[in-house]
Structures are given as structure tokens and as C-alpha cells.
A and B are shown apart, each in its own frame.
Chain A
């Protein structure tokens, strides 16, 4: 990969102080360190370091999110078709379900990453430090807590709010006391309640005839745990959230946001 190294070495002076684009230094640094692990050596303290860095750590967290994301994607498709045809079994029309889910999910992921990363890069540049990889995980968690039909401009707004208010105003990664992903959802919940709560939001383009209240809502009006069995709750294929990917989400949906969840994933954000 000598040629790529040469290209980067040639470009580098342009982004240093006194070059043509010093205001893009953090961006260049982010791409350069993506391609090559830097050659810096230890200057004080221990003379050698572990091979694990933040990039790989966050990559591992994203990998760990993949099963939830894949299941959620499939479940969006399944819940949609299930609302049209209640007799549909979980694995009927597998590819249709999956495709439907992908079409719903992918735009949310793209919007979340594009908006969030641009703000991250901007702030990193402004503060003259490196781009932190933490947002790669946040950007994946935000789609995981959004209803499937949420308008994309709302996702963009919520992501921007979460990154700026949830993280950057407190000094950026490592200084925030709010979990940005959950803040994004809390923001939408209070700013646009109609697209975040109620019977209709958690099944993508739900058929009108289908009742899709969440089990707790059903219990509130006196029904005896209609669709929720423990197996369903932990097995996840019920209707309370577009991604309804695990029971934690259920707790989050109907109880308080955050505290419980932060203790599990929040550390990474």
C-alpha cells in the first residue's frame, strides 16, 4: 500500500497549519487514520501499548448491534404484512418482509450517519481535536430507537439535537452526561408526539383494521395480557416498536427513558 501512503503524504501538508485547507485538518486526519494506523510512538509512561484502539472497539460494538438491527429490519416487514393479513406466520414471505424492512430502515440509518457525522467532524475541527469514533455507534442506535414511519427530516433534526445538546455542548465525547441516542428519541417524543406515540406509529403503514396497541396500553383498558406472553416479549416478535428488538426496548417504550438502558450501552456513546 505504498502508493496510498505516498498519496497521503503528498496531500498532508495542505491540511497542516499554513497549508491550503487547515480548516479540514480533522477530516483529513479521520480519513488518514482510517487507512493507516498512525506511526506515533509512546513518549511517556508505558513504552508499549495494546493493539486495540478506539476504532476497533467501536467496530466491535457495531458488530454486536448487528443481530438486533437485522432482526428489527425483518420484523418491520413482518409486522407490516401481518397487520394486513393477521394469519401470516413469522417466516411467511421471508424475502418480502426483509426487503420491506430494508427499504424502511436504510434511509433512517443514512440520514442519522450523514447528519451526525457532519456535526461531529465540524466540532472536531472547531475544537482542533480528532474525530471520535463514538458516533459510529450512536448513529446506529438512533435508527434502532425510531419508529419505522418516522419522517426523515425528524430523524435529521433529532440527531442534530442529540449530538449538539447531548454531547458537544458539554465538551464532546467523554464529557457528556446524556446518552445521545436516547436524547434523540426523547426529543422527538416531546417535540413530535404524534409521530412517536400512539397505536399507529410502531407498525409501518399499518392496515386500518388491525389493532396494534402495545400490550401495556391494552392492559390499561382492561384486557388480560392479550398478545403478550413471556415468550413473545423475550422472543420479541410483537408489535410495540418498529424494531421491538428486545425486552429492554419494551421497558424503555412504556417506562422512563434512559437510566436503565444507559447502564448497559450508554458507556459507549
Chain B
């Protein structure tokens, strides 16, 4: 039975440069795996510069749990291992070869395998890393047991890609992925779709899952908000979640025996000449996509992910492991004369202290898309109780108090204020509308990391 859930709080941001609904193929020969995409993973290398790797060959493993392998999505030569501060591995760059060979994983059939065998298969192939767990947004421990699994089939953020397009023609893969997940997790599986926009039969006809239609503004697409409405978390609970495209990759492997980490990603942003969708492989270099496709007069910021939570990458950087969107916006390194007192007809603001803020009262479809840049629009200040965070956070928690608890690192207080229910991304809107320009997401992330270390997970 389909359940409809309405979320009232939140704020939709309408930006210029949404991706047009057409999918392009593009030739890319440079790929990279970035260990920093996987939170809480301490990578131990298994390859060296110059090695030849095949599709599915492990590149590194997690020191915390050597069973968790991270495998290559292409066949080719390890071109460079980029190290950063304290010699932390930032990127393992691979130059793809013409002929794609893959590691053989033998013959197998899902029906004949038991839970342990399936988990082992997922770990071997590196597909386990496509799953993530709340709290902490980390790769789940294969020995742990979730209370439910959430498959996200929509995004509510700015420049959100259209999942109807992303899942086109992959019904069988996704259905197989669901069977795999059910075997591994042995609990209820939720498929969360957008109440308004999800129309694809590939998604809506899936079997064996509880389909939930979510209606509301951003951050309704965030996993924490969905969990809070479906099956609220308590201390010690674990919920696994996976993006529907990643699930299709898992399903594909169990259908064909081959690892095909192909995805459709959106390229969007006010500075992109032809914002559209591309079919790429995980970890692809974005340079061929953006090379001639962006306005070159301005300084630009390339973001893997959405503008609220994504990571800044170079023009020659690589797509993050869990991202299916590249956003390109203007850098905002300019001074603005008396900008804080200007009437602000064209500024982006949540508040009605600017004239443009009044357009937020209009229904979403009638609002004009705004252009944004990366300027902070003000200096950093002390936190001030404005009572505005609560308006964009549809969770039953006190955001300001939780932020302060994270700053002082008081674990008891964080627990009491519901840290297990949230992730940094839930505070992205709070961060955007914050008048004291505090970096709230990193504060929450640090709080979560502190607890994760304390709990020994």
C-alpha cells in the first residue's frame, strides 16, 4: 500500500540553470576513487602507482574493518595516488584502457545463496560501500543489523536531478537490488518517492517494498526527515539507506555477474551553457563535461553534489561516490558597497527584510529562479537566537541547542537533544539562512564524529 506523508516545514530554493531532460553520452578516460567520500574510513592501499587494475579489483580497504573493500569501477592503469595533509590518500587516479576487463566473481544465483554469502559477495565486489547507515552516515558494519532500510528515489535539494530519468529502463536491476537488500537486511524496506514528481513506472511498480510518497519542501528528501516520519530512531538503532541508482548497480551485478557502476548524473548551475544529464561511470572526471560547457568569464565553483551539501572540486576533479549531480555556480569574491542596507530586489534571501524575500510567499511554480554565488554576504558573528532555524528543519529537535552542544562537545547533552536522528545535511538550510554565518554543517559533523569515536563504531 502506498502511504502519503506530508512535511510542512522547509524551504524550496529555486535556482537558475536546472538540467534539461536529455541524456548525453560522453567519452571519459580518467577516473578516481576518493576515500574522503566515505566518512570514517581510514584507507589502506592495495595497489601502487603504475599497477594495472581491472573492474572490480580492490584498490584499498578500510583499516577499521578489513572486510570492507573499495574496488575500481574501470579497468586501466593507476596513474597517480594523490596524498594530502598527513599523507592522507585523497585520490587514486586511474587512466582507463581501451579494452575493459573485469575480475571474475564466478557463477552464482541469489536464490541459492544465504545471507552470509550475499554479504560476502557484496563485500568482495566493493558494492557494499554503496550502502550507508544512520546514524553517522557511514558504511554499515556487515555484522550489524538494521531496523529498516530506506531506498531514496528522489531529491528535494536545489538542482535536484529528476529520478524518473535516472531510473529509465532499469526496472529489472532495481527489482533485483531490492531482493538482494531484503536478503541481506532481513527487515522492512521502504522506497521513498516524491509525492508530486515521481511518475516513472520503473519506480512505482516495484514489488516487495513499502512505497511512501513524500510531499513537502526541502529537506523532505533527506533521509533523516523520512526516518523521523516512518520509524523514528532511538539510541542504538541503525537504519541503512541507499540511493536507487546505486541499488540498480547492485541488482545489475546479481543479474549479470558484472560490475557496471554506470550512473546518470545531472550537470546544472547558472554558469552551465547546456545544463543536461550525462551517462557516466562512478568516479569519472568532470572535465570533458564542463570543458566547453561553462561560462569562462567568471571565476567558477564546481561542486560534486548539490549547492547545499556538496563538495567543492576542481574543474578537472572527479564526481563523488554518492553524488549524481554536478553544480556549477559563480564565485562571489567581490565587495558590495553598502550591500547590507540595499533594498535587495535580486538577492537571494529567506527573509522578508529584502524585497526579494517577499517572492518566497509565492507558490514555487510561480517564483522566478534566482542566481546565486559563493559570497558569504556578511562577516562571521556570534550565534544569535533568531528562532529561524526551526522553520526550515522539519525534525522534532532544538537546532540551536544541539549546535551549541556540539560546539562544546557535551556527548550527554547531544544525545538528549537527538543527535542520532540527524546528519550534517539536515542543517544545510539552517546554515544558509543563518545571520551569523556560522558553518553549522561542519559543527554537526564534528559532533557526530566525536560520538562515533566514543562509541567505538
Contacts and interface: CB of A to CB of B under 8 A. Distances in A.
B442 A49 contact: no
B456 interface: no
B176 to A, nearest CB: 36
B431 A53 contact: no
Contacts of A220: none
A41 B435 contact: no
Interface stretch (A29-37, A146-154, A187-195): A29-37
A38 B435 contact: no
A200 B246 CA distance: 78
Interface in A132-167: 132-134
Nearest to B354: A51
Given A45-B431, A45-B439, A54 B378 contact: yes
A128 interface: no
Given A36-B336, A52-B350, A52-B435, A47 B379 contact: no
A41 B386 contact: no
Contacts of B383: 174
B376 A38 contact: yes
Interface string B309-352: 11010000000000000010101111111111100100111110
A172 B384 CA distance: 12
A39 B337 contact: no
Contacts of A39: 332-335, 375
Say which size band chain B's interface belongs to: 35 or more
Interface string B421-457: 0001000100111111101111000000000000000
B225 to A, nearest CB: 17
A52 B431 contact: no
B308 interface: yes
Contact of B337 (A36, A52, A59): A36
Contact of B372 (A35, A43, A48): A48
Given A47-B310, A52-B435, A267-B387, A41 B441 contact: no
Interface in B102-157: none
Contacts of B377: 37, 49-53
Interface of A is mostly: loop
Contacts of B90: none
A130 B143 CA distance: 50
Say which size band chain A's interface belongs to: 35 or more
Interface in B354-402: 354, 356, 372-387
A45 B428 contact: yes
A246 interface: no
B335 A134 contact: no
Given A46-B307, A48-B373, A54 B384 contact: yes
Contacts of A172: 382
Contacts of B436: 54, 174
Nearest to A174: B382
A4 interface: yes
B376 A49 contact: yes
Interface of A: 1, 4-5, 29, 33, 35-57, 59-60, 130, 132-134, 172-175, 267-268
9 contacts: A29-B379, A36-B338, A37-B375, A41-B375, A48-B372, A50-B377, A53-B340, A54-B436, A130-B380
Given A37-B335, A49-B377, A50-B350, 12 more contacts: A36-B338, A37-B378, A42-B375, A45-B309, A45-B441, A47-B327, A48-B372, A49-B437, A50-B433, A52-B354, A55-B340, A174-B381
